[in-house]
Amino acid sequence: MTWEQEIIDYSLSCMPEEACGLLAKVNQTIRFYKCQNYAEDKINNFMIGVDDWMRIEDQANIVGIVHSHPNSKAELSEPDKKNCIGLDYPYYVVSCLDKNFKVFYPKDLKWCLLKLLFMVN
Ligand SMILES: [Zn+2]
**117: exposed, middle or buried (Cβ count in 10 Å: 0-12, 13-18, 19+):** exposed
For domain 3-120, give the fold: Cytidine Deaminase; domain 2 (3.40.140)
1 CA distance to ligand 1 middle (Å): 25
Taking the domains of the chain in order of start, what are their residue ranges? Answer: 3-120
Conformation bin of residue 85: beta by default, left when phi > 0, alpha when psi is -120 to 50 = alpha
Task: Measure the CA–CA gap between 112 and 51, rounded to whole angstroms.
Answer: 33
pLDDT tens, position by position, 73-109: 999 999 999 999 999 999 999 999 999 999 999 999 8
Task: Measure the CA–CA gap between 40 and 46, rounded to whole angstroms.
Answer: 8
2 CA distance to ligand 1 middle (Å): 22
Which residues sit with Cβ closer than 5 angstroms to ligand 1, an ion?
A: 77, 80
70 CA distance to ligand 1 middle (Å): 9
* pTM of the complete model: 0.91
Q: How confident is the model at residue 50 (pLDDT cuts 50, 70, 90)?
A: very high
